[in-house]
Amino acid sequence: FLGAGGGNDIQWCFSQVKGAVDDDVAEADIISTVEFNHSGELLATGDKGGRVVIFQQEQENKTQSHSRGEYNVYSTFQSHEPEFDYLKSLEIEEKINKIRWLPQKNAAQFLLSTNDKTIKLWKISERDKRPEGYNLKEEDGRYRDPTTVTTLRVPVFRPMDLMVEASPRRIFANAHTYHINSISINSDYETYLSADDLRINLWHLEITDRSFNIVDIKPANMEELTEVITAAEFHPNSCSTFVYSSSKGTIRLCDMRASALCDRHSKLFEEPEDPSNRSFFSEIISSISDVKFSHSGRYMMTRDYLSVKIWDLNMENRPVETYQVHEYLRSKLCSLYENDCIFDKFECCWNGSDRQVEFFSLIVMTGSYNNFFRMFDRNTKRDVTLEASRENNKPRTVLKPRKVCASGKRKKDEISVDSLDFNKKILHTAWHPKENIIAVATTNNLYIFQDKMN
Amino acid sequence: MLGKGGKRKFDEHEDGLEGKVVSPTDGPSKVSYTLQRQTIFNISLMKLYNHRPLTEPSLQKTVLINNMLRRIQEELKQEGSLRPMFVAASQPADPLSDNFREAQPAFSHLASPPLLPADFVSTMPLESCLTPASLLEDDTFCTSPAVQHDGPTKPPPPALQPVKDSFSSALDEIEELCPAPTSAEAVAAESAADDSKTQPSESNIHKPEGLPESRTADSKLMDSLPGNFEITASTGFLTDLTLDDILFADIDTSMYDFDPCTSATGAASKMAPVSADELLKTLAPYSSQPVTPNQPFKMDLTELDHIMEVLVGS
């Protein structure tokens, strides 16, 4: 059981950290997305340099029952290259915005990776055997003189060192004028959507030269543009249903059966503004940076700048739960606007679940600044702040909860708001689909934490 | 970025600005609200102007900043009907050419009287917003010295008040003169509609350096970046104030032996560095000069002389 509910708070322990140690961060190494595959055996990261690194979990050692398998590098490949748009005289960044895994159907693994403009389907396959004993070729590949061949033999497969190959199988290009922020694979496992600032397109995984536009919010007159799409996701079970969030804090649920162009939403989720919290920055902090359905699809979670909200799909006028991630930043919004931190896009994720049952979607995780990340237990209503730092390096040491002191006298071990490092932000986190293992990305390092197993 | 020391310093200063939002109708706190609004407006403009990315800027960010600017404009508009120039100039325009057709009505509004200093929020110093009087009194700048250009009929421009609050930099003082020159410019603009495209680019000498480049980039990004329209539209704010007109409008040029036609362009290049710096100073969120209210306004010819000397390089 996943330690959810019943007061069994998970005790998180440091397990591993991947990435460079030095403080000087190479721009290309900045992690831009983290995603477990459906079994949790593989963990993929994308970075600003357009590379994808996949880690594989070791098979659990039966004798070492105190820890789950470690993650080691399985494959590294260059997914996207920088491009130049000659028409606009602008570079197209190679940064990987999102990675989404397909469920495994055969020996190979497939994932979708996208930058601002192009989505690619990658096949990752293993090769651990190779044919030997050709008649016309030497082992090193040189051709033999046919006249020297006196006998024939059948080539056989012999084991070789494992080689993991990544090859691009499909390239879905030229369908987005604006920057792609989301991709989401449909529950039919045949189609997927890609969303940019103003449009959402529907693709078939087999067809690269055609996509269907299902949402278009571009106004006829661009000067009237006041709202953009920030994230989109398919419903986990209903293959005609998807949601998309906006920069004004709204979520629209659409049904593709209603019409070809889903410009009219079936449901609109929006919480009325709290007048006591109104400020110049109300709109900006209401912009939703991530939206994730719960495992059953009955709820969805949204992340805006200061909070995480849980919505019941049956109730449009307000969320059922709201969790404050770092409310102490509310009085610093002007500074955060000036240094652009207010535009940081934090993601959020649910705990893993070995069943598609609502009861198991109980813990929410999201990142913050100073390399802190937060977890909210929906059942106990307790929350915890933890830190991803190399100082807590010993495996199986339980992470110490952190606390930020908003104002007043700072207690021992508390950190004051003014001491927070806003350059150390945790934007991307992922939870193993079945176990209590989490991957937390700092700027250029990937931390893996596990719960303490007795 | 928010490093530790830097943030603390910034934050101390910020304490007065951040925290609870005050209603604009509160008395003394109206000032801090206005100051905050001014700061945010300036920051927003800086973000739109100074961002020079190699890649396309984020549309979401641009839209959010635009919305911020629009909201502040709306608020200012509602606070008084005396800001038609400002508001009209800020209407986002579609293609580059439209921008200047939009700007013309802005200039025509100069015919209507009081223009409060807060109108020129893009170039207005923070100090003016700290002056309650300027916000409460409609006719602070109604009267003018009759130092008008031999232009077409227009109402007396606000300027040269012997007593004025909270202007501490010479440039700020000079800007008070601008309704006169800008209305002259407005008439010129209206009469030369086909030149409107080129005129603002020449007159925007006080734009930050990188902007001329952004103009060519603008046309390329026209379709995908509404922010470009805001950029071109918001240059409308600055076209109102051209130092050529401000400085030379009321000067008896015979003293300096200038040919009025060439002096503008001749001096423009010299003025550029001065004006850009000054403008950036006014755009900076915090002025280093503490302001005392009721500081007498000391604009007079000696100041103008001094500036002329600097510009002429004598």
Domain CATH code at residue A272: 2.130.10.10
CA distance B106 to chain A (A): 18
Residue B194 within any structural domain of the chain: no
Amino acid, res. A395: P
Residue A383, token pair as written in the block? 């929350």
Q: Are A245 and A230 in contact (CB under 8 A)?
A: yes
CB pair distance less than 8 Å for A334 and B17: yes
CA distance A173 to B182: 50
Q: Does B13 touch chain A (CB under 8 A)?
A: no
Digit-coded pLDDT (tens) for A327-381: 999 999 999 999 999 999 999 999 987 555 555 668 999 999 999 999 999 988 9
Within 10 Å of residue A2's Cβ, how many Cβ atoms?
A: 17
- Chain A contact for B97 (CB, 8 A cutoff): no
Spell out where A108-181 has E strands.
109-114, 119-132, 156-172
- Whether A292 is covered by a domain: the verdict is yes
Residue A397 belongs to some domain of the structure: yes
What pLDDT shows up at residue A116? Answer: 97
Contact A254, A242 (CB under 8 A): yes
Q: Is residue B126 a contact partner of residue B281, using CB atoms and an 8 Å limit? A: no
Residue spans of chain A under pLDDT 70: 1-8, 61-67, 354-361, 392, 454
Contacts with B7 from chain A: Cβ below 8 Å: 335, 418, 422
Q: Which among A353, A350, A373 has a CA at the least distance from the CA of A363?
A: A350
Report whether A425 contacts A344 (CB < 8 A).
Answer: yes
Look at A419 and B4 and tell me if their CB atoms are within 8 Å. yes
The closest alpha carbon to B183, from B159, B206, B215, B151, belongs to B151
Please give the model's pTM, rounded to 2 decimal places: 0.68
Three-state secondary structure call for residue A203: strand
Shortest distance, CA A223 to any CA of chain B (angstroms):
6
Q: Is residue A2 part of a domain?
A: no
CA A379/CA B15 separation, integer angstroms: 38
Taking CA–CA distances from B9, the nearest residue in chain A reads A418
Cα A167 to Cα A34, A100, A109, A183, A360: the distances in Å are: 20, 16, 11, 20, 36
pLDDT confidence of residue B163: 40
CB-CB contact of A324 with A277 (8 Å)? no
DSSP A299: E
Which residue in the set A223, A284, A336 is minimally distant from B93, CB to CB?
A223
Q: What is the CA radius of gyration of chain B?
A: 19
What is the SS3 string spanning chain B? Answer: CCCHHHHHHHHHHHHCCCCCCCCCCCCHHHHHHHHHHHHHHHHHHHHHHHCCCCECCCHHHHHHHHHHHHHHHHHHHHHCCCCHHHHHHCCCCCCHHHHHHHHHHHHHHHHCCCCCHHHHCCCCCHHHHCCHHHHHCCCCCCCCCCCCCCCCCCCCCCCCCCCCCCCCCHHHHHHCCCHHHHHHHHHHHHHCHHHCCHHHHHHCCCCCCCHHHHHHHHHHHCCCCHHHHHHHHHHHHHHCCCHHHHHHHCCCHHHHCCCHHHHHHHHHHHHHHHHHHHHHHHHCCCCCCCCCCCCCCCCCHHHHHHHHHHHHCC
Q: Which residues of B touch A419 (CB under 8 A)?
A: 4
Amino acid, single-letter form, for residue A157: F
Instruction: Characterize A169-194 residue by residue with b for buried, 16 or more Cβ atoms within 10 angstroms of its Cβ, and e for exposed.
Output: ebebeebbebbbbbbbbbbeeebbbb
- How many helices and strands in chain A, by DSSP H and E? 2, 32
Q: For the sheet containing A98-101, what is the strand order?
A: A98-101, A109-114, A119-132, A156-172
B73 found inside a domain: yes
What is the C-alpha separation between A46 and A29, in angstroms, rounded?
Answer: 9
In a domain, residue A90? The reply is yes
- Is position B35 within any domain? yes
Residue in B with minimal Cα distance to A278: B21
Q: Which residues of chain B have pLDDT under 70?
A: 1-28, 81-300, 314
Domain annotation covers residue B62: yes
Interval B68-87: pLDDT, tens: 999 999 999 998 755 454 44
Question: Does residue A3 fall inside a structural domain?
Answer: no
d(CA B276, CA B199): 18
Cα(A422)–Cα(A297) distance, integer angstroms? 34
B208 part of contact set with chain A, CB < 8 Å: no
Is B70 inside any structural domain? yes
Number of domains in chain B: 1
B42 in any annotated domain:
yes
- A403-405/A414-416 β-pairing: parallel
Whether B226 and A338 lie within 8 Å, measured CB to CB: no
In a domain, B272, yes or no: no
In angstroms, the Cα distances linking B284 to A174, A359, B40, B171 are 41, 53, 10, 15
Q: How far is residue B55's CA from residue A414's CA, in Å, rounded to a whole number?
A: 40
Looking at residue A394, what DSSP letter applies? S
Do the bridges between strand A31-36 and strand A42-47 make them parallel or antiparallel, or are there none, so unpaired?
Answer: antiparallel
Q: Which residue out of A85, A229, A277, A418 would a mutagenesis test of the B interface target, given it has the greatest number of B Cβ atoms within 10 Å?
A: A418
Contact B134, B118 (CB under 8 A): yes
Spatial separation of the C-alpha atoms in residues A302 and A288, rounded to whole Å: 6
Owning domain of residue A113: 12-451
A302-A306-A308 Cα angle (round to 5): 30
CA atoms within 13 A on the CB side of A236: 17
Q: How, if at all, do strands A156-172 and A182-185 pair?
A: unpaired
What pLDDT, on the 0 to 100 scale, is given for residue B307? 78
Give the position of tokens 């609109």. Answer: A268
Mutation site, A329, A338, A345, A443, interface B, largest B CB count within 10 A: A338
Buried b (16+ CB within 10 A) or exposed e, A202-227: bbbbeebeebeebbebbeeebbebbb
CB-defined contacts A:B, below 8 A = 115
Q: What range does the domain containing B38 cover?
A: 29-83
Confirm whether B118 is domain-assigned: no
A336: chain B residues, CB-CB within 8 Å:
2
**How many domains does chain A contain in total?**
1
| B284 and chain A in contact, CB less than 8 A | no
Q: What is the pLDDT of residue A253?
A: 97
Nearest to B277 by CA among B209, B178, B211, B215: B209
Instruction: Decide: residue A164, CB within 10 A, 0-12 exposed, 13-18 middle, 19+ buried.
Output: middle
Indicate the residue type of A109.
Q
ipTM: 0.92
Contact A314, A255 (CB under 8 A): no
Residue B2: which of A93, A197, A341 has the nearest Cβ?
A341
Q: Which residues partner with A371 through β-bridges?
A: none
Q: Helix B226-239 vs helix B28-50: angle between axes, to the nearest 10 degrees?
A: 120
- Write the DSSP symbol of residue A28: G
Is A334 in Cβ contact with B36 (below 8 Å)? yes
B269 has a chain A CB within 8 A of its CB = no
Please name the residues between 49 and 68 in chain B that touch chain A, using a CB distance below 8 Å: 54-56, 58-61, 63-64, 66-68
A95 in Cβ contact with A50 (< 8 Å): yes
Q: Counting every residue, how long is chain B? A: 314
